[in-house]
Structure 1
Amino acid sequence: MFEKVVPVNKERHAQTRIKEITGFSFASKFHIAYVTMHEFARAAAIYPIVFLEDKEKDEFRPVALLGLDAGTNLFVGADGKWDASYVPAIIRRYPFALASSDKEGQFTICIDEGSELVSSTEGSPLFDDKGEPTQVIENVKRYLSELQQMDALTREFAKFLAAHNMLTPLNMRVRESAGIKNIAGCYVINEERLNNLSDERFLEIRAKRYLPAIYAQLISLAQIERLVTLADKRAGK
Structure 2
Amino acid sequence: MAAQTDLVPISKARHGHRFWRRFSSYDFARPLAEVPVVAEEILHCASAFPLAFRRSGPNSGSAVTPVALLSLIPEQDTPFVSHEGHWLGTYVPSHLRSHPFASQTTGQQDQMALLIDENSGLITDNPRDEPFFAPDGTLSPGLAQVVQFSRTRAAAMQATEVLCATLEAMELFTPFISHEGVDLPVGLLTIDSGRLKSLPDAHLVLLARQDALRLIHAHQVSLQHCLWLDKASRQTGLTKATPDTDTTSPGNDALDGFLSALAQAQENDAVPG
The TM-score, its normalising length taken from structure 2, stands at: 0.79
- Determine the structure 1 residue equivalent to 2:14: 12
Q: Unpaired segments of 5 or more residues in structure 2?
A: 240-254, 256-273
Higher helix proportion: 2
After superposition, the C-alpha distances for 1:147-199 in whole angstroms (9 at most, x for unaligned) are 01111111111111111111121232667xxxxx6225311112222222211
Structure 1 ranges of 4+ moved more than 4 A = none
Alignment pair present for 1:144 and 2:116: no
Distance 1:21 1:148 in 2: 21
- Determine the structure 1 residue equivalent to 2:197: 195
- Distance apart, 1:61 and its partner CA: 2.3
**Correspondence list, 1:33-182, <5 A:** 33-53=35-55, 54-56=57-59, 57-71=61-75, 72-121=77-126, 123-172=129-178, 182=183
After superposition, the C-alpha distances for 1:78-100 in whole angstroms (9 at most, x for unaligned) are 11111112111111111111122
Distance 2:108 2:167 in 1: 29
How high is the sequence identity, in percent, across the aligned residues?
24
Higher strand proportion: 1
- Determine the structure 1 residue equivalent to 2:212: 210
For the residue of structure 2 that corresponds to 1:188, the secondary structure is strand
Contact 1:60–1:159 (CA<8 Å) still a contact in 2?
Answer: yes
Distance 1:203 1:189 in 2: 17
For the residue of structure 2 that corresponds to 1:12, the secondary structure is helix
The structure 2 residue matched to 1:22, chosen from 17, 21, 24, is 24
Cα root mean square deviation, aligned: 2.0
Contact 1:51–1:63 (CA<8 Å) still a contact in 2?
Answer: yes
Structure 1: which amino acid aligns with 2:173?
L
- Determine the structure 2 residue equivalent to 1:178: none
Q: 1:97 to 1:69 in 2, by over 3 A?
A: same
The TM-score, its normalising length taken from structure 1, stands at: 0.90
Structure 2: which amino acid aligns with 1:58?
S
Contact 2:45–2:93 (CA<8 Å) still a contact in 1?
Answer: yes
Distance 2:179 2:140 in 1: 50
After superposition, the C-alpha distances for 1:107-128 in whole angstroms (9 at most, x for unaligned) are 1111112211222215211112
After superposition, the C-alpha distances for 1:50-85 in whole angstroms (9 at most, x for unaligned) are 112333353322211100123321211111111112
For the residue of structure 1 that corresponds to 2:176, the secondary structure is strand
Q: 1:89 to 1:2 in 2, by over 3 A?
A: farther
Distance 1:119 1:36 in 2: 31
